[in-house]
Structures are given as C-alpha cells and as structure tokens.
Amino acid sequence: MSKVALDQPFEMEITVQPEDIDELGHVNNVVYLKWVQDVATTHWNAAAPNGHEPASVVWVVIQHEIRYKQPTYLGDTVIARTWIGKAKRRFMKRNTELLRKSDGILLAKAVTLWTPVNKETGKSVEIDKEVLDKFA
C-alpha cells in the first residue's frame, strides 16, 4: 500500500460476506462497527509517521457513537471512508462513513474516540507531539 496522508480522508472497499449477514437478511450492526474499526486501523497503519509511537504504545477505542441509516446486503460493496477530527492531549476523534458503492447511499456514520495506551501499564498516555500538532 502506498503512503497516504494522515490528515486526509481515507477510503477502502469492503465486500459483504455471508458471515456478515444476520437473521434479518442484511448486514448485522456489529459488523458495521467492526468495519469502522478496520478502516481506522488500516488508515493509521498506512499513514502514520514512521516512529509515530514507541512499540510500548497501542491505540484503543474509548467511545463509539454510531448511527445506522440503511441496511446493506450480501454481495454489496461498501466504501468505508474515515478522517481524523479534533485531537487533544490524550484523545483523538475519528469520523467514519459507510456508503454503498453502487448508489452512494449512506449506510452508517460514526464518531470514535481513540486514546494511545501504554501496553505495560494499560494507562492512557499523551499523543505524540508530531501527530498532535497536525490535528490539535
């Protein structure tokens, strides 16, 4: 994957799989939430500055707010679009939209709050200054 800008929207395509479908015949809400996390992680891994954090730091979600708008179905292709919002000392907001590729219909939108956490202590740490300066 080529390097992408951390401060620009990022998109990836997802094809709905049989295991994504619930008893109502459409994608389960939990799968939408998984996609929100997957696109955020993919974006970060593709775009974060080299050495953006020490190996002892991992980003974790502390809050998801998601609004389900429309169902999607087996075989549909979904565009997961994400971008970083405001960042403060220990928290970064990320926005995500899930859209059906065939007609551009908004399926869900989410706002997620992430924090970097020290793997050893399990405690939130401050965001790297280079990253924070870009989004604060």
- Does a structural domain hold residue 5? no
Task: Establish if 124 belongs to a structural domain.
Answer: yes
Range of the domain at 51: 10-135
The count of structural domains within the chain is 1
Task: Encode pLDDT of 55-77 as tens digits.
Answer: 788 899 999 999 999 999 999 99
Query: In whole numbers, what is the pLDDT of the chain averaged over residues?
Result: 90
Is 79 within a domain? yes
CATH code at position 81: 3.10.129.10
Q: What is the pLDDT of residues 86-99, one digit of tens each?
A: 989 999 999 999 99
Does residue 77 form part of some domain? yes
In this structure, is residue 84 part of a structural domain?
yes
Residue 60 lies in a domain: yes
Extract the tokens encoding 93: 């907001």
pTM assigned to the model: 0.88
